[in-house]
């Protein structure tokens, strides 16, 4: 991004990070307009979609002296986030709705609207950084300065075209610095807790209530790795790979984990932790910050499999012959750990970083584990 003043659309969720992002851009002399996206029209007491969040964003915009708009993207949100989330659970897949919201709505859809309205850039309160490419061409997607709050994992799908017009104003700050800056400005969000949960899942009903109103639940048998029946669960759709609690087993015995979910047969297999280990994973629906050929520069990369997971070293192989149904023509890769790791639930995001653990290389959706 250049140092000249620009017209910037700031996504304001009603939280402290996006509030300070807007404030920083105003202080830097940019022409700033705050936008809150109305995404989920149903019941919400968590996440970033409540009526109070919209009100907080509007009040902060007033404090900063900037215009505030509300865009209704609920149809896009239902089509690309909620409906796929529900459908995935009927097939034994565990999706990450917040990442899909970022992919389809908070960046793609919002960027499209910003361009239509003549904005130069879109800004959010994510803890990540857009920096000039080390090669001198294009941009890098870099981890946020506050490693404990780094959100590069959840925005890994941003490509070069979007990076060129994306700003992360708080990416160079720690969370403590963000809150301190908000306090100095007297912003009403200065002490507001961070959103932790999926916005359309209430804290009272949880996933069970949400999905139970939308899909029929089927009970499932629970067997051990020898095939012996050891219990039952009321819903195969609610079980996740690696799950240990709530799988219908008596307490007091050795720890057992879900190591396989056969939805068509309604059979859950449990085993010990060693049974969860795999040498690697197929990864589909890959997106790249740069062209995938950049992988050739690295003998190994670091791979992160959850928002706050510890990156693990791995090798990566490319290949169109890697068989995995992803419902997309995007390329697939094979990630092979240097040391066996726990299996990743299908549907979760697997994100590649360079060996220094600073820059996002690309990311995709976990598919089948490697067998050997």
CB 313 within 8 A of CB 370: no
CB 88 within 8 A of CB 347: yes
Helix/strand/coil (H, E, C) string of 265-295?
A: CCEEEEECHHHHEEEEEEEEEEEECCCHHHH
- Which 3 state secondary structure label does DSSP give 177? helix
CB 6 within 8 A of CB 121: yes
- Residue 111 CA to residue 103 CA, distance in Å, equals 11
Q: Name the phi and psi angles at 7, rounded to 5.
A: -95, 115
Residue 91 CB contacts under 8 Å (≥ 6 apart), including other chains: 263
Residue 101 designated active-site:
yes
- Residue 100 CA to residue 91 CA, distance in Å, equals 18
- Active-site choice (48, 98, 101, 305): 101
- Active-site choice (48, 98, 199, 305): 199
Residue 98 designated active-site:
no
What's the residue count for the chain?
A: 372
Residue 199 CB contacts under 8 Å (≥ 6 apart), including other chains: 39, 40, 44, 46, 47, 48, 49, 50
User: Quick one: how far is CA 278 from the chain centroid?
Assistant: 23
At residue 109's C-alpha, the angle toward residues 105 and 111, to 5°, is: 120
Helix axes 51-64, 16-27, angle to 10 degrees: 20
**Active site residues per annotation:** 101, 199
């Amino acid at each position: 991004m250049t140092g000249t003043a620009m017209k910037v659309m700031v996504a304001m969720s009603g939280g402290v990070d996006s509030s300070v992002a807007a404030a920083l851009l105003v202080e830097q002399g940019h022409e700033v307009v705050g936008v809150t996206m109305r995404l989920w029209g149903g019941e919400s007491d968590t996440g970033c979609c409540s009526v109070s969040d919209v009100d907080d964003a509007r009040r902060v915009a007033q404090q900063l002296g900037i215009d505030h708009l509300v865009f209704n993207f609920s149809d896009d949100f239902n089509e690309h986030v909620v409906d796929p989330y529900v459908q995935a659970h009927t097939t034994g897949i565990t999706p990450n709705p917040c990442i899909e919201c970022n992919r389809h709505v908070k960046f793609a859809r919002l960027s499209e609207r910003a361009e239509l309205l003549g904005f130069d850039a879109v800004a959010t309160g994510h803890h990540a950084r857009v920096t000039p490419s080390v090669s001198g061409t294009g941009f890098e997607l870099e981890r946020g300065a506050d490693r404990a709050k780094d959100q590069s994992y959840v925005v890994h799908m941003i490509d070069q075209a979007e990076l060129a017009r994306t700003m992360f104003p708080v990416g160079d700050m720690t969370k403590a610095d963000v809150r301190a800056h908000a306090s100095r400005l007297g912003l009403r969000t200065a002490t507001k807790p961070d959103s932790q949960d999926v916005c359309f899942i209430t804290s009272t009903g949880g996933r069970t209530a949400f999905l139970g109103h939308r899909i029929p639940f089927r009970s499932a048998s629970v067997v051990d790795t020898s095939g012996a029946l050891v219990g039952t669960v009321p819903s195969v759709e609610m079980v996740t790979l690696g799950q240990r609690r709530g799988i219908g087993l008596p307490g007091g015995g050795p720890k057992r984990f879900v190591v396989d979910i056969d939805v068509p047969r309604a059979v859950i297999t449990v085993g010990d932790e060693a049974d969860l280990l795999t040498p690697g994973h197929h990864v589909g629906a890959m997106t790249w910050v740069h062209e995938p050929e950049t992988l050739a520069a690295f003998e190994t990369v670091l791979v992160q499999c959850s928002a706050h997971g510890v990156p693990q070293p791995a090798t990566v192989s490319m290949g169109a012959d890697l068989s995995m149904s992803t419902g997309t023509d995007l390329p697939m890769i094979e990630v092979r750990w240097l040391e066996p790791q726990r299996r990743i639930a299908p549907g979760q995001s697997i994100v590649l970083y360079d060996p220094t653990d600073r820059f996002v290389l690309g990311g995709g959706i976990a598919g089948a584990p490697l067998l050997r």
